[in-house]
């Protein structure tokens, strides 16, 4: 990526906005590491500089640029949860537009959020070919508040503005040029190119605010609005974004800007905005471990053992990240099937425009396949993704310990099984870690990087570096049954099964939790994932713990061959092999028989009780995970639940959500959950959990 370094003509005490004079041209350089965020100091510096230059008869042109690797990658998000300090960004943009000189934005790296809005306030925009642009505010629970909803339509047209504002997607310099966001794409030093325009008589004041909104067909506008509204269920503030962008056609710009700012100010302190900011910072912290300063081991040659749905997905993401992959299967038939699944993933990516034919060819050239385990001998990293059976996996690692080269990392994708036992079987426990991808691995963002008691620091560092290279969100966990995610999910599953035994129907539990905001209700999830996976894990762990309440319902379904959607029946039935679940009278009868045999008098259960009990189970386990050191931070738990288990993103995760509720109500719900389990069931310290959230800010 391009990087701009200019030596200031002023001492560092001049602040984060430096002024350089190049004859009759003024260069304003924003230097606020690491990303040049528009903090209060930056805003004040810009405003002061523009007010000074407005009185400078010796200045004919102003160039605005960013130092380091970016133009301006957005605002300081930490400011958004409290009153914004003066001056605010609209004040700066008004000063730019009021400047007597033309102002050129010289853009390299990222121009995002407030950074793009700052550039839209300039008269001309030059960009390097690697620059990126976007308005990501919608993903943080609010809308652009510095003119983005009004200036963008005047350059790109209303359909494109609707798309960019409501999707938050980034565009490269080429697309930005086609849309009209930038006037010119240059190679090399964009600041030098902007300074060279001083002698160009065609460079004049051209305020974006004065431009008309280009005409667009009703069909194009309707299509853009319809695409945005498809996300309303999880992002209801999109309605406000659509309304405000539409004001570009119907209101004078000053009135529209005032309404945009009012909506921005209201939404930035809404509950979803607080929740999404919590996740924003939690995701950036999740892959960090205090005191871990080991350098990652170099990884280029990898091997994946097992080419099923998980193994194939893992191989796919490693290939697309530029790694070489050797795929190993147990026999020729299994290998053929694995390669066909991989081909289907690449076909789909090319058909949907997410990959090019050339990229697919590059990935194909980086893939080799075999049924010979000895072929992994030169790999830097080997990831095991075979059937979820402890003895099968132990045998694989016992062999890998002898085959893999010295210093190679051995990793397991197991979701439940004993990593310490697998590390021991390898004979190389320091080189071993868990790298738990979530299904489907090529879609889900989450990876749990799991350290055993013997995992070397540089092995852990390598697992985290690998996750980042694959574009994943990494969370560190300590080896324990289910790690973070499946430990939480197991307790959630139990609570939902108890709700069914106590009187709710599976479809009622699903409806209540989907209304709360889950992407999918638990029983639909169980059927989609396959009931047999958790069943085998329970068998491996010895099944029922003595003295604790245990529901046998899921075990009975598995014993009847009802593994979920893939067998046409699980908690629901799936008529004619379809994907749409239908309530099953056989399951209702099984539930009634089981409850009666256990002396449970079933009763109607309201939706609010369903939600309370399900989340209480999660929260109690979350507290225990922190107390036991399996999870490092409360935010890590929320990152796992949101990115791996469909917890509503706009609620910030279970721990953050609980921190915004009445403390006594949460404590009472957890107490009730623990009593339903058994008197000896361990209760987590919910007070300490919620205090840890508050301390994290």
Name the nearest CA neighbour of 495 among 326, 372, 668, 675.
675
Q: How much is the pLDDT for 541?
A: 66
Name the nearest CA neighbour of 653 among 637, 670, 632, 665.
637
Do 596 and 662 form a contact (C-beta atoms < 8 A)? no
How would you write 411-468 as a 3-class SS string? EECCCCCCHHHHHHHHCCHHHEEEEEECCCCCCCCEEEEEECCCCCHHHHHHHHHHHH
Residues in the chain: 697
- The domain made up of 486-696 is a member of CATH 1.10.1040.50: yes
Q: How much is the pLDDT for 680?
A: 59
Residue 674's contacts (CB-CB under 8 Å, 6 or more residues apart) are: 620, 681, 682, 683
Q: How do residues 27-45 score in pLDDT, each as one tens digit?
A: 999 999 999 999 999 999 9
Q: How much is the pLDDT for 669?
A: 93
In whole angstroms, give the CA distance from residue 259 to residue 273: 19
Q: In whole angstroms, how far apart are CA 480 and each of 541, 625, 630? A: 12, 9, 7
* Positions in the chain whose pLDDT score sits under 50: 1, 5-13
**Sheet containing 132-134, strands listed edge to edge, beginning at the edge strand earlier in sequence:** 110-112, 132-134, 171-172
Residue 50's contacts (CB-CB under 8 Å, 6 or more residues apart) are: 62, 92, 95, 96, 98, 99
Do 329 and 371 form a contact (C-beta atoms < 8 A)? yes
pTM: 0.90
In whole angstroms, give the CA distance from residue 128 to residue 466: 29
Name the nearest CA neighbour of 181 among 136, 119, 137, 242.
119
What secondary structure letter does DSSP report for 88?
Answer: P
Do 612 and 620 form a contact (C-beta atoms < 8 A)? no
Q: How do residues 608-617 score in pLDDT, each as one tens digit?
A: 999 999 999 9
**Sheet containing 103-107, strands listed edge to edge, beginning at the edge strand earlier in sequence:** 17-22, 25-30, 61-66, 103-107, 124-128, 184-186
In whole angstroms, give the CA distance from residue 451 to residue 214: 56
* Domain boundary assignment for the chain: 12-269, 301-479, 486-696
Q: What's the sign of the alpha-carbon dihedral 609, 611, 612, 613? A: positive
Q: In whole angstroms, how far apart are CA 145 and each of 40, 53, 134, 139, 255? A: 16, 26, 14, 14, 13
Q: How much is the pLDDT for 10?
A: 41
Q: Which helix (H) or strand (E) holds 254?
A: helix 253-267
Enzyme catalytic residues:
415, 436, 448, 486
**Tokens describing residue 17:** 């906005």
Which residue carries 């053992």 as its tokens? Answer: 305
Q: How do residues 243-288 score in pLDDT, each as one tens digit?
A: 999 999 999 999 999 999 999 999 999 999 999 999 999 999 998 9
Q: In whole angstroms, how far apart are CA 87 and each of 90, 94, 207, 672? A: 8, 11, 21, 51
Q: In whole angstroms, how far apart are CA 594 and each of 61, 459, 598? A: 81, 47, 6
**Sheet containing 301-305, strands listed edge to edge, beginning at the edge strand earlier in sequence:** 367-370, 324-328, 301-305, 381-384, 409-412, 432-437, 446-451, 473-478
Other Cβ atoms closer than 10 A to 11: 7
**Tokens describing residue 60:** 């004919």
Do 70 and 30 form a contact (C-beta atoms < 8 A)? no
In whole angstroms, give the CA distance from residue 528 to residue 507: 14
Do 433 and 451 form a contact (C-beta atoms < 8 A)? yes
Q: How much is the pLDDT for 2?
A: 56
Q: If 0-12 CB within 10 Å is exposed, 13-18 middle and 19+ buried, where does residue 202 land? A: exposed
For residue 448, the cross-strand partners are 436, 475
What secondary structure letter does DSSP report for 495?
Answer: H
Same fold, 12-269 and 486-696: no
In the CATH scheme, what is the code of domain 12-269?
3.90.226.10
- The domain made up of 301-479 is a member of CATH 3.90.1150.10: no
Give the rounded distance of the alpha carbon of 594 from its chain centre: 40
In whole angstroms, give the CA distance from residue 436 to residue 415: 6
Do 241 and 128 form a contact (C-beta atoms < 8 A)? no
In whole angstroms, give the CA distance from residue 637 to residue 650: 15
Do 584 and 572 form a contact (C-beta atoms < 8 A)? yes
Other Cβ atoms closer than 10 A to 206: 14
């Amino acid at each position: 990526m391009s990087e701009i370094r200019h030596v200031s003509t002023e001492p560092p005490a001049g602040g984060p906005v430096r002024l350089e004079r190049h004859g009759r041209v003024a260069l304003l350089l924003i230097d606020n590491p690491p990303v040049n965020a528009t903090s209060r100091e930056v805003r004040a510096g810009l405003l002061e500089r523009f007010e000074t230059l407005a009185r400078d008869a010796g200045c004919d042109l102003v160039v605005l640029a960013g130092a380091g690797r970016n133009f301006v990658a957005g605002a300081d998000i930490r400011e958004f949860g409290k009153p914004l300090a003066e001056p605010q960004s609209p004040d700066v943009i008004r000063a730019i537009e009021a400047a007597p000189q033309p102002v050129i934005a010289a853009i390299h790296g990222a121009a995002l959020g407030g950074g793009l809005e700052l550039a839209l306030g300039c008269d001309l925009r030059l960009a390097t070919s690697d620059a990126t642009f976007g308005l990501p505010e919608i993903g943080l629970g609010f809308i652009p508040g510095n003119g983005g909803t009004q200036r963008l339509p005047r350059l790109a047209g209303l359909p494109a503005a609707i798309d960019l504002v409501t999707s938050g997607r980034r565009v490269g310099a080429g697309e930005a040029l086609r849309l009209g966001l930038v006037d010119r794409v240059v190679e090399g030093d964009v600041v030098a190119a902007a300074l060279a325009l001083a002698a160009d008589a065609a460079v004049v004041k051209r305020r974006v605010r004065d431009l008309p909104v280009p005409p667009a067909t009703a069909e194009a506008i309707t299509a853009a609005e319809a695409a945005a509204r498809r996300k309303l269920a999880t992002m209801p503030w999109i309605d406000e974004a659509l309304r405000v962008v539409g004001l570009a056609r119907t209101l004078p710009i000053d009135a529209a800007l005032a309404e945009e700012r009012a909506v921005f100010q209201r939404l930035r302190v809404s509950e979803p905005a607080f929740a999404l900011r919590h996740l924003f910072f939690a995701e950036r912290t999740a892959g960090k471990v205090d005191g871990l300063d080991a350098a990652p081991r170099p990884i280029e040659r990898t091997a994946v053992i097992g080419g099923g749905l998980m193994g194939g997905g893992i191989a796919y993401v490693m290939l697309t990240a530029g790694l070489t992959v050797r795929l190993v299967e147990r026999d020729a038939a299994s290998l053929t099937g694995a390669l066909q699944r991989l081909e289907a993933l690449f076909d789909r990516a090319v058909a949907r425009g997410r990959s090019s034919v050339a990229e697919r060819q590059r990935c194909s050239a980086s893939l080799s396949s075999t049924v010979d385990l000895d072929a992994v001998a030169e790999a830097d990293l080997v990831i095991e993704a075979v059937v979820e059976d402890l003895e099968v996996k132990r045998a694989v690692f016992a062999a890998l310990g002898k085959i893999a080269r010295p210093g190679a990392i051995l990793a397991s994708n197991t979701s439940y099984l004993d990593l310490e036992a697998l590390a021991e079987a390898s004979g190389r426990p320091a080189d071993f870690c868990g790298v738990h991808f979530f299904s489907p691995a090529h879609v889900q963002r989450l990876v749990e990087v799991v350290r055993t008691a013997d995992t070397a620091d540089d092995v852990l560092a390598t697992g985290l570096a690998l996750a980042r290279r694959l574009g994943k969100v990494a969370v560190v966990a300590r080896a324990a049954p289910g790690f973070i995610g499946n430990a939480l999910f197991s307790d959630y599953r139990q609570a939902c099964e108890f709700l069914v035994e106590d009187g709710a129907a599976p479809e009622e539990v699903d409806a209540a939790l989907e209304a709360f905001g889950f992407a999918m209700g638990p029983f639909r999830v169980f059927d989609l994932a396959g009931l047999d996976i958790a069943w085998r894990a329970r068998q491996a762990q010895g099944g029922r713990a003595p003295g604790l309440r245990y529901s046998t319902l899921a075990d009975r379904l598995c014993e009847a061959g009802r593994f979920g959607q893939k067998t046409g029946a699980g908690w629901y039935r799936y008529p004619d092999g379809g994907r749409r679940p239908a309530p099953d009278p056989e399951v209702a009868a099984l539930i009634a028989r089981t409850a009666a045999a256990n002396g449970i008098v079933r009763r109607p259960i309201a939706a609010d009780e369903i939600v309370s009990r399900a989340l209480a189970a999660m929260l109690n386990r979350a507290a225990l995970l922190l107390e036991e050191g399996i999870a490092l931070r409360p935010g890590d738990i929320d990152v796992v639940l949101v990115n791996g288990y469909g917890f509503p993103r706009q609620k910030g995760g279970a721990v953050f959500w609980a921190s915004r509720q009445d403390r006594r109500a949460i404590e009472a719900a957890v107490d009730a959950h623990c009593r339903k389990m058994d008197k000896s069931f361990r209760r987590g310290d919910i007070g300490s959990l919620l205090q840890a959230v508050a301390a994290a800010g």
